[in-house]
């Protein structure tokens, strides 16, 4: 009889203890000191952050949806072309970018006037208190705030009063969590008619072209309006910067779909599990043992050499596994040929 389970995993401190035992810094059954556990945790975090640069994160690929901004009374460039993704706490003048992996859609069944804080909708069962909510206004913009409560199945109470009127049938968007800073953006698509849930055949996904940092800066008129066709992403430090061109003139029926790679999560506490598939556990322990060896005077001799080789083989095996199994098509580039 087998166990019937496939979810074996180890928390941070067990990983560190196993790595220390592997290099014989501690004997089997001995408890590492708090300072050695802390050293191991710091080394472990540095190691997995360095692995991100190697492209080791196939399982971290995802798709997010970015709601665009159009603010005719303010600066087009800042409000409509530049989107900060991730933690913008403390960033002077930063505007929140409403980007998420999942959202829900409903609509108004009663017109809402300027100053309203109570909305009557088709269904309020799609969101809870503290969720983000975007209300399509009659002036073509989307006003974002948060939900205070959903007192019954057809009402939302919202935090900020409406700054404009919203007619019957205007779309309401809700979601729980803003996306974190992407490590990489792999592709962007402009989704047109994305609110046409009743007739999904009318929704269109139009791929956008990526340009370089300088390519974007060289655009002669960043205030041009139209359907966005070009994007550039700069991962920056705490937050990423996504720029698009042209700036949108209609944000109520256009959304951007981002294919992106997520950051690998930290080991912050002793009970944190790896943000990796469990086939990575052995490789993480072996590679951490190699990283810790110099700290404990274990970085020489045949045992260490064998450990390094084992780590290299194990990591290379996982690198090969961490790839999409798709076809590659190669053709000559004849541009410029006579």
Is 328 a domain residue? Answer: no
- pLDDT per residue, tens digit, the chain (338 aa), is 899 999 999 999 999 999 999 999 998 888 999 999 999 999 999 999 999 988 778 899 999 999 998 755 454 445 688 999 998 887 887 888 999 999 999 999 999 999 999 999 999 999 999 999 999 999 888 999 999 999 999 999 999 999 999 999 999 999 999 999 999 999 999 998 777 655 567 788 999 999 999 999 999 888 788 889 999 999 988 899 999 999 887 788 788 999 999 999 999 999 999 999 999 999 999 999 999 999 999 999 999 999 999 999 999 998 888 776 666 667 676 555 55
Is 5 a domain residue? Answer: no
Is 326 a domain residue? Answer: no
> Cα(99)–Cα(271) distance, rounded to whole angstroms?
30
Q: At what angle do helices 301-321 and 281-292 cross, to 10 degrees?
A: 140
Instruction: Tell me: do 283 and 317 sit in the same domain.
Output: yes
Instruction: Tell me: do 70 and 36 sit in the same domain.
Output: no
Instruction: Tell me: do 83 and 209 sit in the same domain.
Output: yes
Is 337 a domain residue? Answer: no
Burial class (CB in 10 A: 0-12, 13-18, 19+), 178: middle
Structural domain harbouring 290:
12-57+271-321
> Cα(168)–Cα(110) distance, rounded to whole angstroms?
5
> Cα(50)–Cα(257) distance, rounded to whole angstroms?
28
Cis peptide before 246 (omega within 30 of 0): yes
Instruction: Give pLDDT, residue 85.
Output: 94
Instruction: Tell me: do 85 and 207 sit in the same domain.
Output: yes
- CB contact at 8 A, 246 and 28: no
Instruction: Tell me: do 189 and 67 sit in the same domain.
Output: yes
Instruction: Give pLDDT, residue 75.
Output: 47
Instruction: Tell me: do 294 and 311 sit in the same domain.
Output: yes
Structure token pair of residue 72: 């005719």
Instruction: Tell me: do 72 and 37 sit in the same domain.
Output: no
- pTM, two decimal places: 0.86
> Cα(215)–Cα(198) distance, rounded to whole angstroms?
39
Is 4 a domain residue? Answer: no
Instruction: Give pLDDT, residue 277.
Output: 92
- CB contact at 8 A, 168 and 157: no
Instruction: Tell me: do 187 and 281 sit in the same domain.
Output: no
Into how many domains does the chain fold? Answer: 3
- Cα torsion through 78, 80, 86, 91, rounded to 10: 20
Is 3 a domain residue? Answer: no
- Collapsing DSSP to helix, strand or coil, 1 comes out as coil
Structure token pair of residue 56: 């080791």
Is 224 a domain residue? Answer: yes
């Amino acid at each position: 009889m087998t166990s019937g389970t496939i979810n074996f995993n180890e928390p941070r401190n067990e990983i560190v203890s196993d790595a220390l035992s592997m290099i014989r810094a501690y004997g089997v059954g001995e408890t590492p000191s708090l300072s050695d556990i802390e050293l191991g945790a710091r080394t472990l975090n540095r190691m997995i952050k360095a692995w991100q640069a190697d492209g080791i994160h196939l399982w971290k690929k995802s798709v997010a949806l970015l709601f665009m901004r159009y603010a005719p009374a303010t600066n087009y460039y800042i409000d409509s072309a530049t989107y900060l993704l991730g933690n913008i706490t403390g960033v002077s003048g930063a505007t929140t970018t409403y980007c998420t992996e999942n959202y829900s859609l409903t609509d108004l069944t009663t017109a809402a006037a300027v100053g309203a804080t109570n909305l009557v909708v088709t269904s309020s069962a799609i969101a809870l208190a503290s969720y983000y909510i975007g209300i399509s206004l009659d002036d073509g913009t989307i006003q974002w705030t948060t939900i205070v409560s959903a007192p019954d199945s057809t009402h939302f109470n919202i935090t900020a009063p409406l700054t404009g009127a919203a007619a019957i049938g205007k779309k309401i968007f809700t979601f729980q969590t803003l996306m974190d800073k992407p490590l990489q953006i792999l592709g962007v698509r402009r989704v047109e008619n994305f609110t046409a849930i009743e007739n999904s055949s009318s929704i269109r996904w139009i791929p956008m072209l990526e340009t370089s940092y300088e390519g974007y800066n060289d655009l002669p008129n960043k205030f041009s309006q139209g359907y966005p066709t070009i994007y550039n992403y700069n991962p920056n430090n705490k937050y990423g910067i996504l720029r698009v061109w042209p700036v949108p003139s209609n944000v109520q029926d256009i959304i951007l779909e981002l294919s992106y790679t997520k950051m690998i999560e930290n080991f912050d506490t002793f009970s944190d599990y790896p943000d990796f598939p469990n086939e990575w556990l052995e490789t993480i322990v072996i590679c951490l043992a190699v990283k810790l060896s110099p700290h404990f005077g274990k970085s020489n001799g045949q045992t260490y050499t064998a450990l390094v080789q084992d780590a290299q083989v194990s990591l290379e095996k996982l690198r090969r596994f961490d790839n999409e199994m798709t076809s590659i098509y190669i053709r000559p580039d004849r541009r410029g040929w006579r």
